[in-house]
A and B are shown apart, each in its own frame.
Chain A
Amino acid sequence: MATEAENWNECIERVGRSQDRGAFQSLFKHFSPFLKAFLIKSGGVTPENAEELVQETMIKVWRKAPSYSSSQASASTWIYTIARNTRIDWLRKQNRQNPDLLNAEDLYDERENPTPLSSLSQIRTKKLISEQLSQLPVEQAEVLQLMYFQGQSGQQVANTLALPLGTVKSRVRLAMNKMKLALAPLGDLGVIEGSN
């Protein structure tokens, strides 16, 4: 029996293959309230802006669906990436930068390959990541929440939580270690650490 996550992958593939509006509506119903929750947390975004950004994100989902492959990314990760890029371009426009020169897709080199270079089996890791995230100590989860949801940098998180930047960095590192993400060996980073 297909899991719920696999159903969402299948929905995107159906939109991509046959422009299936029923599948698109299911995706919309499921994801748009999460997208609104995500986008409304970006600095300077009003509830109306958030809906515009949800709309923009879902239109991109429709347009890009033909290039989606469930072997490369789960539906939620793929949609998250589109929403993140939409937010980046929107925030740059607010800062009167010109995102048309280089938009977020260009910056992340996703033009031809809409999902990052793939090697891991996404669907399997998704379940694992979900379990590991739910087991993180509160203070580590809180830092990740602020970074992902509010788009805060490490320094901004440090300001928000009134913590030294070093503490924020070490919480990120502890969380990554706990989740056993293949990050660079610590030894290589000693010089940078020492200079802080």
Chain B
Amino acid sequence: MINRHPESDLLVEYASGSLSVAPCISVTTHLQYCKQCSDSVESLGEIGGELLTTAQAVPVSDELFDRVIASLDSLVEEEPSDEPQRQCSDSISAELPEFVQRLLPDGELDWRRLSPSLKVAPISVGEEEYELALHRIDAGGKAPEHDHLGKEITVVLTGSFSDEEGVYQPGDFLVREAGDTHRPFAARNQECICLSVLEAPIRLTGIKRVLNPFLSFTPS
């Protein structure tokens, strides 16, 4: 049962195409788990189709159709993709939704230990505004308390974690705004893997400042 979902304006931004790469990925990941939001996104696409065809049309040049036809004629039939399937060999990757697996690099994920029970593996998506990463909290482990300088989106992929406000299950979509402080911890019986999107580095509150996990990698 999915408890937490993207807000309606975020879904509209998603459907209308204004989200950056990493936030867009976080919503698509949530949709892998959430039928309700998938249905909404489908309807939001219908709004796009309707707005498209009720707009004030702008005539195109006379020769545009011929140009399109000329390109079709020179279009090489695309071979069914022979490209080698990217394969992430990390042991956890098989447990993740296929959509997420496709984002992962070849070979092993680059896990970096941030605290005794928390690891992070950055995922490169070719943009600089946001950092995309997988986070992994050991069973029963606690992440250091931290607050956020920018927005953070978390989608639970496997296992579950809790913080002061509740328990989060696979598919749950959480947004933390700048200034929120929380201390997540994983369920006792299972490690928890999350996909996270960070708008800006977060800083640890309290004395563990030097361990600030999310300053330890920069987007590439």
Contact = CB atoms under 8 A, between A and B. Distances in A.
B113 interface: no
A33 B58 CA distance: 5
Interface in B13-58: 13, 15-19, 21, 24-25, 28, 31-32, 35-58
A184 B179 contact: no
Contacts of B47: 129, 133, 144, 148, 179
A181 B41 CA distance: 9
Interface residues of A, number: 82
Given A54-B64, A108-B24, A181 B40 contact: yes
A102 B103 contact: yes
B207 interface: no
A38 B52 contact: yes
Interface in A1-55: 21, 25, 28-29, 31-38, 40, 50-51, 54-55
A69 interface: no
Contacts of B41: 116
Contact of B45 (A54, A77, A153): A77
Interface string A84-114: 1101100010000110011010111100000
Report, as a range, how many residues of chain B touch the other chain.
35 or more
Contact of B18 (A40, A120, A152, A189): A152
Given A38-B52, A62-B72, A63-B78, A85 B17 contact: yes
A119 B21 contact: no
Contacts of A122: 42, 46
Nearest to B36: A182
A169 B52 contact: no
Given A77-B49, A97-B127, A172 B8 contact: yes
Given A76-B49, A149-B55, A188 B177 contact: no
Interface string A102-143: 101011110000001111101001100110010000000000
Given A106-B102, A147-B16, A54 B28 contact: no
Given A129-B43, A195-B177, A101 B125 contact: yes
B210 interface: no
B83 to A, nearest CB: 12
A161 interface: no
Contact of B25 (A75, A107, A129): A107
Given A40-B58, A54-B60, A55-B68, A172 B12 contact: yes
B55 A34 contact: yes
B17 A104 contact: yes
Contacts of A58: 68
A44 B51 CA distance: 21
A80 B55 CA distance: 12
B61 interface: yes
Nearest to B44: A181
B71 interface: yes
Nearest to B25: A107
B18 A151 contact: yes
A145 interface: yes
A31 B192 CA distance: 47
B8 A176 contact: yes
17 contacts: A34-B55, A37-B56, A51-B60, A51-B64, A92-B21, A98-B126, A106-B102, A125-B43, A145-B51, A147-B16, A154-B12, A181-B8, A181-B40, A182-B39, A183-B11, A183-B37, A184-B7
Given A102-B103, A122-B46, A125-B43, 6 more contacts: A25-B65, A77-B45, A109-B32, A154-B9, A181-B8, A181-B44
The 9 closest A-B pairs by CB, nearest first: A77-B49, A184-B5, A76-B49, A33-B57, A80-B48, A84-B17, A172-B9, A80-B49, A37-B58
